[in-house]
Structure 1
């Protein structure tokens, strides 16, 4: 969803590969199901599913969210919970970095986030935290002693 010539437009994805089923962890599936249940309870009517436009996150009318409003809502949510504000796209980087830190095979990480090349996942999205570096060096030190 992008604003083009002053209007919100649903544009095609960057690549054919982008149109895919996205795997989610159970807690994310649960949160989405709860979100849908609350929307249906609040806005739905018998025999009519909510949201009418099919967007998971939208306005109270079921229409797409303005991208700037989504960013504003995200920033407010971070502030309300005392979380450092990062751009929404930064969550993809976080996902890749956390999966790699958990020891998930890079090929699996690549598939989860939909990259076409492992280099993108490893070199652009995979950030190694200082703590992981310390643990690696401590392990090396143990092996050398």
Structure 2
């Protein structure tokens, strides 16, 4: 693209010297819009395998929240107990934990679209109630070593969890589940695909995923739902064959 602009500038300069043009032809250049890259979601069976591999670990509820509500990694690590209303079964997305400039930073979510109040599926609700009880035991065991930050998924000492440590744990988890190529973020895409498969209207899935535009929601679905597309075109074979 830089080469194209350079050629146009040279041509424009020459043309102006010869008084051949009266407008900037560089304004005719159209730069392609960036493409949104999406990952591949998991099947229901793959999600079950992953969660079975995580059962009994302190991070099991984190993966369950990721799979059922589609929170991003930083949002999972930034989730606080005050963002949960376990009496009403709702969760608010308010902040995120990121590694920036060599250290961990707790920040507000990146945009209004990232904020949101989400209803908890019952399985996630019950897991978080158990997790709250287990964290109290963990806090008491740590004694004076515990540094309270009010986080739902902190380190073993209550401090914000290092995102790279979560990545390392997930890498081992996916190996145990026999899913070596998946990413943590694929659980977010899985939530989108499963809800749309269940017939949930796209605008509601967009609200749950907190996408800025429904086009992003539908693009994830189209990217991950190859089997459904195969079934659709198979119907053409049945009609035309």
- Equivalent residue of 2:156, what SS? coil
Q: Name the CA shift for 1:37/1:5 in 2 (closer, same or farther; >3 Å).
A: same
Aligned to 1:22, the other structure's residue is in SS state strand
Aligned residues: 140
Asked if the contact 1:107–1:118 (Cα under 8 Å) also holds between the matched residues in 2, the reply is: yes
1:65 paired residue among 161, 169, 175? 161
Moved over 3 A (4+): 137-145
Extract unaligned runs of 5+ from structure 2: 1-96
SS in structure 2 opposite 1:9?
strand
**TM-score (structure 1 length as normaliser):** 0.80
Structure having the higher Rg? 2
Aligned pairs for 1:1-145 within 5 A: 1-44=97-140, 52-123=148-219, 125-126=220-221, 127-139=223-235
Query: Could you list the runs of 5+ residues in structure 1 that have no partner in the other structure?
Result: none
CA offsets, 1:62-104, max 9 Å, x none?
1111010011111111112223442222211111112112221
**Could you tell me how far apart the structure 1 residues matched to 2:178 and 2:126 are?**
24
Kindly tell me: are residues 122 and 56 of structure 1, through their superposed partners in 2, closer, same or farther at Cα, counting changes over 3 Å?
same
Alpha carbons 1:101, 1:132 under 8 Å: kept: no
- Mean alpha-carbon deviation: is it higher for 132-141 or for 89-98? 132-141
Root-mean-square deviation (Å): 2.5
Which whole-Å CA distance do the structure 1 matches of 2:147 and 2:153 have between them?
Answer: 9
**Residues 143/44 of structure 1: CA separation in 2 closer, same or farther (3 Å cut):** farther
Could you say which structure has the higher strand fraction? 2
Higher relative contact order (CA 8 A, sep 6+): 2
Does the residue aligned with 1:10 lie in a helix, a strand or coil?
strand
